[in-house]
Amino acid sequence: MKRLIALACLALAPAPALADEIVDTLNGAIAAYEAGDVKYALEELAYARQLLQSVAAEGLAAFLPPAPEGWTREVNTGMNQGLALMGGGSGAEATYAGGGKSFTLSVMADNPMVGAMAAMFGNPMLMGMSGEIVRVGRQRFVDQEGELTGLVDNRILVQASGAPREDMLPVLEAIDYDGLAGFGR
């Protein structure tokens, strides 16, 4: 558990080269603003936001557990581009494959869509009406025709789909939910 937390903290720390690019981009936005070039300042701010979301996505990826014995894990690094179309936020996704089966585990944080779904996934009664409630430690998931969906800290959506529940549960059980709840704070 401590190792997972340490890995998550390391992943949250931006790489020096990227941090310098973020600082340089923010400084460029300030310089453009001071020169009266508001359009370019806005472009630089948008680019800085994109870089910061990349850093956050790397932090979330640290919460994707390693593959179980006999399985492989492939992390999808392009998930954040899709989130930009859904209002922003950060996300990480991995595909786990083994024994002729595969499933996808995705984690999305601070996305407006997740906020809209919080009322349902944060309420056990509504979850029960949507599907079967499955407990993973103290975390509740709803099984909707093979897709397991849970909400952590009312702002982080965790979804697993594509394989039988018994294949996905060991990976969901390996997630550090306490650490995930503290993500980005």
pLDDT of residue 52: 78
Distance of alpha carbon 107 from alpha carbon 1, whole angstroms: 19
For 108-154, the DSSP string reads: EES-HHHHHHHHHHT-HHHHHHHSEEEEETTEEEEEETTEEEEEETT
Domains and CATH numbers, the chain: 2-60 (no CATH), 64-177 (3.40.1000)
More confident residue, 132 or 50: 132
Residues 6+ apart with CB under 8 A from 85: none
pLDDT of residue 82: 54
Other CB atoms within a 10 A radius of the CB of residue 100 amount to: 6
Distance of alpha carbon 130 from alpha carbon 90, whole angstroms: 26
Average pLDDT, the chain: 81
pTM of the predicted model, to two decimals?
Answer: 0.71
More confident residue, 83 or 32: 32
pLDDT of residue 134: 92
More confident residue, 2 or 148: 148
Give the tens place of pLDDT for each residue, 101-143.
Answer: 999 999 988 777 777 777 777 777 777 788 889 999 999 999 9
